[in-house]
Amino acid sequence: MAEKEHILLQQVKHSDKGAFKTLFSLYHDTLFRFVFYRVKDNDLAEDITQDTFLRVWKTRESLQPKKSFFSLIARISSNLCYDYFRHENVKHRHEDFIPIHGHSELDNPEVNTHASALEEEIQEVINNYLPNKCRNIFILSRIEGKSNPEIAAILDLSVRTVENQIYRALKILRKHLKKYL
């Protein structure tokens, strides 16, 4: 089997779809059981098994035919299982913050009113209290999402000047928006 596997891996490395199909047929069921033992869910085990073979195909040029193919797919599938469990853990930790389908804070008129008032207040502070240079830099940074080096290049300023102006704008905003903080 090892010699046959070595030959198949060499062929897969050179993009032979038939050899890949043969490897898939030889190892699919074994890998599925290996994954199912970890996740205890048929659909999820099948998805991870498929993803494992897909990753092998996508990285076929870097295959090392002399190494065990099952070790490779076991490692890939184990990493995919760990990724899944890590993601599930994050979901459970944050499930209180995930909005319920069809229900949003934005459906609450009181929240909408407060958000609108805050937005208007921010606009007023930006337009009436920030000096022109400071306002332009703040808008490029926070509204248009430009980085400090990009802003510096656009306005022909040093990055340090941009940083100072953003700091100044935030300080003015905090001062005028105290009641919202």
Note the helical H segments in the chain: 2-13, 17-39, 42-58, 69-93, 109-129, 132-138, 148-155, 159-176
- Which amino acid, 55? R
pLDDT, residue 99, reads 63
pLDDT, residue 179, reads 80
In this prediction, the residues of the chain whose per-residue pLDDT falls under 50 are none
Alpha-carbon span 124 to 66, nearest angstrom:
68
Structural domains of the chain, ranges and CATH numbers in brackets? 2-95 (1.10.1740.10), 113-180 (1.10.10.10)
Give which of 65, 59, 36 is closest to 49, Cα–Cα: 36
pLDDT, residue 83, reads 93
CA distances from 86 to 41, 90, 96, 99 (A): 16, 6, 17, 20
In angstroms, how far is the first alpha carbon of the chain from the final one? 68
Alpha-carbon span 125 to 53, nearest angstrom:
56
The pTM (predicted TM-score) of the whole model is 0.53
pLDDT, residue 58, reads 95
Q: What's the chain's Rg over C-alpha atoms?
A: 28
